Amino acid sequence: MSPELAITLTILLPAAATLLLAVLDKRPNLREAVSLLTAGALFVIVLGLLQTVLDGAQPTAHWFDVLPGLSLAFEIEPLGMLFGVVAAGLWIVTALYSIGYMRGNNETNQTRFYICFAIAISAAMGIAFAANMFTLFIFYEVLTLSTYPLVAHKETDVARKGARTYLGILITTSIGFQLVAIVWTWVVAGTLDFEQGGILADKIDPTLLPFLLALYAFGIGKAALMPFHRWLPAAMVAPTPVSALLHAVAVVKAGVFTMLKVGVYIFGIDLLATTGAADWLMWVAAFSILAASIVAMTKDNLKARLAYSTISQLSYITLGMALATSLGVMGGAMHIAMHAMGKITLFMCAGAIYVATHKTEISDMDGLGRLMPFTYGAFFIGALSIIGLPPLGGAWSKWYLMLGAADAGQIIMMGVFMVSSLLNIAYLLPVVARGFFMGNTGPLAYSVGAAAVPSKGIQEAPLWCVVPPCLTAIGCLLLFFYAGDIYTLIEPVAFPEGTSQP
Amino acid sequence: MWDEMTVEFFVNHYNYWMTVILMMIGLYVVVSRGNLVKKIVGLNLFQTSVFMLYISMAKILGGTAPILTDNPNEVYSNPLPHVLILTAIVVGVATTALGLALIIRIRESFDTIEEDEIFDIEQQMAKTSHPHAETPNKC
Amino acid sequence: MLSSLSAHMPVLQVIVLLIAAPLCALFGNRHLAWTIAFIAALAAFVISTFLLGSVLDGSVISYHLGGWAPPWGIEYRIDAANAFVLFIVSLIGVLVLPYARQSIEREFEASTHTYFYTCYLLCLTGLLGVAATGDAFNVFVFLEISSLATYALVAFGAKRDKRALTAAYNYLIMGTIGATFFVIGIGFLYMVTGTLNMADLAVRLAEVGDTRVTRVAFVFILVGMGLKLAMFPLHLWLPNAYSYAPSAITAFLAATATKVALYVLLRFTFTVFQFDFPVQELTFEYVVMPLALVAMFAASIAAVFQKDVKRLLAYSSVAQVGYMLLGVALLTEAGLTAGIIHLFNHAVTKGALFLAVGCFVYQIGSSRLGDLKGIGKTMPWTTAALTAGGLSLIGVPLTVGFISKWYLIQASLETGSLWIAGLIVASSLIAVVYVWRIVEVAYLEPAPEGRKAKEAPLSMILPTYALVAASLYFGINSELTSSAASQAAKALYSATDLAVPPMQLTPSDPPSEGAVQ
């Protein structure tokens, strides 16, 4: 299969699957089989592309021109490859998990759910492989719109309201700021192609750079930079698989991935470093990291806590870009993968707890760990990875981010990373501790959900709710040992010819 | 240019003044009268003023009607505006006819041709849950 | 035979419709009338497609009516700008007819259908005539043909809601005032130049220069056309007229009537008056642009608070006219291109939206938001069309709305005004609000008990989807529209280069003694 065809397939395959899914509305088994098969096939294709990229090639595909000079085109570079592998790989896990969760909860409108899910993945692939900002923006918007029905899935007043916030903020920022920034770039640079070293050097008055960067940084609402983070907690009304894949992986990672792309390929790290245009962004990101962590500690709802944790972790990546050093970019890119793996574990565990017990508040979850050891075990590993302890994947990305801060001479930013790690411990580990060590307060009614028999011993959620988080927990562990491969993949981006390597 | 505004200037351009006065009367009637028929009358006045504007500008001092004669040096008025206005009059008549026809239909369904009474009825329709009613916007 | 016919194409598309219109009424059979109307509209569409194809390279077709050479005779002058408008109008005209045939069945008595088709064809005649002609006074005549037919068409909605009558009446009053203003402007131009041919006018006006008379003429024309194209705050006739007119007519008018009026304004602004006339620059910069910006916000906000989808979309139309005027008021070629491309894109989008709403009216007899709860489940295709159109209104990528936004923002950034770009996106965010009100109601609210609505008939769905498809296709591949729009902008800017050389009129035809210098 030629790389060009492969790229096209990664986008069209999930999109085409939606048709099959729609036809199979009344036959859930077949429908879910299609969903899984597509996920598997997509992953295989992406792996094939990964091999090509690791060999040093940058496969391209050109679809057609939308406007004169602005085309829908794709080019796989290492950053996009990384994001693509993460999204495609975790889709399989989530597809498995969705089956357990959606059936365990007897959700309605499941076909619509799977269709929107597939479109979202298709859009994520488009974002990952986009060759220019224009293509990226188009798929960015497709992603926003296709996830709206997922967030509003329950069709209750709360869901509608949450979905409204979700769409409102994402559309406002993307059309209100990002589109302006893109057109501005187009007007001054005459191109929107992603190029190593950026396209803006010498094209624009340096004093305007921070302003343009602000339009991008806040325009990429999916990166949840404060004060445009409200949509993320609001979107937690969605069913947990949605929160897991979309709000730990596809949507938010699309946001920070775009941020990295803009920093590396539109502005160029050198330009940012020499003009200091991103200095202010560093502080905003640092503020987001700390503020969101503190808010997370106050949240008793488990998913809300995880949501704020996500906001905080996303700003790590933004901060990595804003540091404007090679190591910062490396750390940021790595964190995309590491955080995705860790956070999806946590979300799936939260979902498993909900399916088994219908509990959402952390204070109600005392002692659950002894009943759901696998779920809580996975949660523990995921939490440690987020905190950044070896031997888990999260350790590496934090390591490189700290190195980046040191390299840029930003001691304060190193401090921010340290403090935030402590805060991570403070808001994540109590969940585990309560689960394992606190006694059961009050009568427990385990009569809801799938695990219906109230008794001692293990009472896990349905099998397909528990296996995926365990898999990703193992993934966190493996990432620690295979971080070198990610390093090799990202190396050409972070350290282009001529830059010194540590 | 305003210093030329002498009596002579004023008198020499009397056709414009008449046009302006007639036009303003017409517009005023359209805006101020609540009676739909009177509005149409105002509209006619308004249009007539424009007809006058065209006709008067075609006039050439000492000119006769633009009819072909044997005299090659015959001075005659410009016939083109006359033709234009003939067309405009036809349009005006059509407009008036359509307007009056509409008024008849309005009278049949609203039982009045007074604008404020119609407005009240429409407000009423908006309030009562008429199948297709909602706030009429007359701002 | 064919070649001699094709030489007459510029006028044929008008004539065919003009002849077909009374035929519809004379035969008295509604099925026959529809067939005649459809064939005539189709013929007009074919001709205008052909015309567009032959002028897209920048050439100009000049047709002399009755063989009288301009500037004495009436000239039909087709360049890229009006060929584009002709194409849009006749496209919508032919698409709406099959839809109308079905939708008017439930809107008024079968006995009046023949008159409906007559009015429809007359309206189309007028609109095409306005666009095709190169004679200033001829514009007025065709404008009134179309307007008079429009008033009657709006009044056809009276069977469903008697307020259609007052809406039509108010429209008549406002429209006539606008047309009369326009005639006054033409009169002034004639006074100083002695000609009515637009190309000739351009040449002579350049000689006359910037006098008080030309200024007054320009302002009269601007206000007159402003009334016709619903320029804020001259839009007051529009919401009622669109709300109470028959569904098919609302779609037709929204997509064509205001667009043609805008074309006339552009033609006069850029071709007849040169765009660097000082009074024009000032007017556009300090009057039209602020008004356009106000329209974008005020009308959008008004749309948010409407309870009826038709009326909501009507207010949205006022806002969208604001976008077009904004593009034009930038007074650059890029801005003009943006305005023109939005003219097309909005025609397609709004046409699709109003047609979709018409399907609701046909099936459940109402377009009120409260009656559309949960309609997404019972009429999925119509609702999907409405949603697609709504997304285009917002300007989501892969729809034509996005192309418009892109061009507009680009044009405003090129003139260095970031704040205008900011206002453009800010106002399109209000569009998110009103579009999403519809989407939420249609998809996320539970349907009321006992509603037996089913999907609209195919003859209504198909035209709707034709326009939806167009709004998606031209959003994905905008090559045709963007090249046509930029070609049109060029044509408007450079029409004087191609103008006939100035010709002396007969000495007996001087400006009158009263012409103020």
Q: What contacts C451, CB < 8 A, 6 or more positions away?
A: C364, C378
Counting as contact any 3 or more CB pairs under 8 A, the partners of C are: A, B
The 10s digit of each residue's pLDDT in A161-179 is 888 888 888 888 888 888 8
Distance from CA of C197 to the nearest CA of B (A): 13
A135: nearest CA partner in chain C: C397
Q: Residue A82: which of A44, A119, A53 has the closest Cα?
A: A53
Our measurement of the distance from residue B38's CA atom to the centroid of its chain's CA atoms, rounded to an integer in Å, reads 12
A67 shares contact with chain C (CB less than 8 Å): yes
In this model, does residue B111 exceed pLDDT 60? yes
Tell whether the model's pLDDT for residue A463 goes beyond 80.
Answer: no
Q: How confident is the model at residue A450 (pLDDT cuts 50, 70, 90)?
A: very low
Q: What are the b/e assignments for A326-365, b being 16+ CB within 10 Å?
A: bbbbbbbbbbbbbbbbbbbbbbbbbbbbbbbbebbebebb
Residue C260 has a pLDDT of 92
Reading phi first (left if > 0) and then psi (alpha if -120 to 50, else beta), residue C353 is in: alpha
Q: How confident is the model at residue B48 (pLDDT cuts 50, 70, 90)?
A: very high
Percent of chain B with pLDDT over 70: 88
pLDDT of residue C89: 92
Taking 50 as the threshold, does the pLDDT of residue C80 lie above it?
yes
Q: List the single residue in C173, C184, C302 with the smallest CB-CB distance to B50.
A: C184
Maximum mean pLDDT: which of A362-366, B132-136, C485-489: C485-489
Q: Quick one: pLDDT at residue B134?
A: 42
Q: How far does the CA of residue C409 sit from the closest CA of chain B (Å)?
A: 32
Is residue A447 predicted with pLDDT exceeding 50? no
Residue B3 reports pLDDT greater than 70: no
Residues in C touching A142 (Cβ below 8 Å): 397-398
Identify all chain A residues contacting C479, using CB atoms and an 8 Å cutoff: 65, 68
The answer, for C190 touching chain B at a CB cutoff of 8 Å, is yes
Lowest pLDDT segment from A3-12, A436-445, C17-26, C454-463: A436-445
Q: Please report which confidence band the pLDDT of residue A28 belongs to, taking 50, 70 and 90 as the band edges.
A: confident
Q: Is pLDDT of A131 > 50?
A: yes
* CATH level 3 topology of B2-60+75-113: Helix Hairpins (1.10.287)
Residue C338 has pLDDT above 70, yes or no: yes
Question: How much is the pLDDT for A456?
Answer: 52
- Between the ranges A16-20, A361-365, A450-454, C434-438, where is the mean pLDDT highest? C434-438
Reported as a single tens digit per residue, the pLDDT across C224-236 is 999 998 888 888 8
What pLDDT does residue C372 have?
84
A181-190, A448-457, A461-470: segment of lowest average pLDDT: A448-457
ipTM of the complex: 0.87
Q: Is the pLDDT of residue A392 over 60?
A: yes
What are the boundaries of each domain within chain B? 2-60+75-113
Q: Lowest mean pLDDT: which of A346-355, B98-107, C507-516? A: C507-516
pLDDT of residue B37: 92
Which residues neighbour B8 within 8 Å (Cβ) at sequence distance 6 or greater? Answer: none
Predicted confidence band at A448 (pLDDT cuts at 50, 70, 90)?
very low
Range among B9-13, B54-58, C85-89, C417-421 with highest mean pLDDT value: C85-89
How many percent of chain A have pLDDT more than 90? Answer: 1
Higher pLDDT, C309 or B71: C309
Higher pLDDT, C6 or A230: A230
pLDDT tens sequence across C175-192:
999 999 999 999 999 988
Residue labelled with tokens 């809406």: C167
Report H helices in A105-200.
110-129, 133-151, 157-173, 179-189
Cα separation, A265 vs A276, whole angstroms: 16
| C425 to A175: CB separation less than 8 angstroms, yes or no | yes
Q: How far is C239 from chain B (nearest CA, A)?
A: 8
Condensed to tens digits (0 to 9), the pLDDT of residues A101-129 reads 777 777 777 788 888 888 888 899 899 88
Mean pLDDT (whole number) for C70-92? 86
What pLDDT sits at residue C184? 92
Say if CB A404 and CB A273 are below 8 A apart: no
Q: Write down the mean pLDDT value for chain C.
A: 85
The residue of C108, C250, C513 whose CB has the most chain B CBs within 10 angstroms, and thus the best one to mutate to test that interface, is: C513
Q: What is the mean pLDDT of residues A359-374?
A: 79
Res. A367 pLDDT band, cuts 50 70 90: confident
Give the pLDDT score at C482.
84
Q: Is the pLDDT of residue C274 over 80?
A: no
pLDDT at B131 over 50: no
Cβ-defined contact of B118 to C308 (cutoff 8 Å):
no
Asked whether residue C506 carries a pLDDT value surpassing 50, the answer given is: no
Mean pLDDT, range A213-223, rounded to an integer: 88
| Tens digit of each residue's pLDDT (9 = 90 or more) over C94-130 | 999 999 888 888 888 888 888 899 999 999 999 999 9
Kindly identify which residue of chain B lies nearest to residue C303, measuring between CA atoms. B137
pLDDT band, residue B9 (cuts 50/70/90): confident
Mean of the per-residue pLDDT values of chain A: 83
C409 to A145: CB separation less than 8 angstroms, yes or no: no
Q: How confident is the model at residue C252 (pLDDT cuts 50, 70, 90)?
A: very high
pLDDT (mean) for A361-385: 83
What pLDDT does residue B90 have? 92
Q: Tell me what the mean pLDDT of segment C468-491 comes to.
A: 85
Please report the pLDDT score of residue C283 as a whole number: 82
Mean local confidence (pLDDT), A442-455 = 44
Please tell me the predicted confidence (pLDDT) of residue C500.
39
Angle at B18 (CA atoms; ends B16, B23), nearest 5 degrees:
95
User: For C141-152, what is each residue's pLDDT tens digit?
Assistant: 999 999 999 999
What is the pLDDT at residue C312?
Answer: 92
C508 touches chain B (CB under 8 A): yes
Quote the pLDDT of residue A458: 61
- The torsion angle over the Cα atoms of residues A322, A328, A330 and A334, rounded to 10 degrees, is -80
A239 close to A154: Cβ distance less than 8 angstroms: yes
What is the least distance, in Å, from the CA of A68 to any CA of chain C? Answer: 7
Distance CA C257, CA C149 (A): 11
Distance in angstroms (rounded) separating the CA atoms of residues B19 and C83: 38
pLDDT of residue B99: 94
Cβ–Cβ below 8 Å for C429 and A175: yes
Q: What are phi and psi of C63, to 5 degrees?
A: -115, 130
Sign of CA dihedral C132, C133, C134, C139: negative
So what's the pLDDT on residue C3?
A: 61
Please, are residues B43 and B53 in contact by the beta-carbon 8 Å criterion? Answer: no
- Inspect the interface and report whether the beta carbons of C425 and A160 lie closer than 8 Å: no
- Overall average pLDDT of the C6-19 stretch: 85
Q: CA dist A237 to A79, A110, A161, A245, Å? A: 31, 16, 9, 14
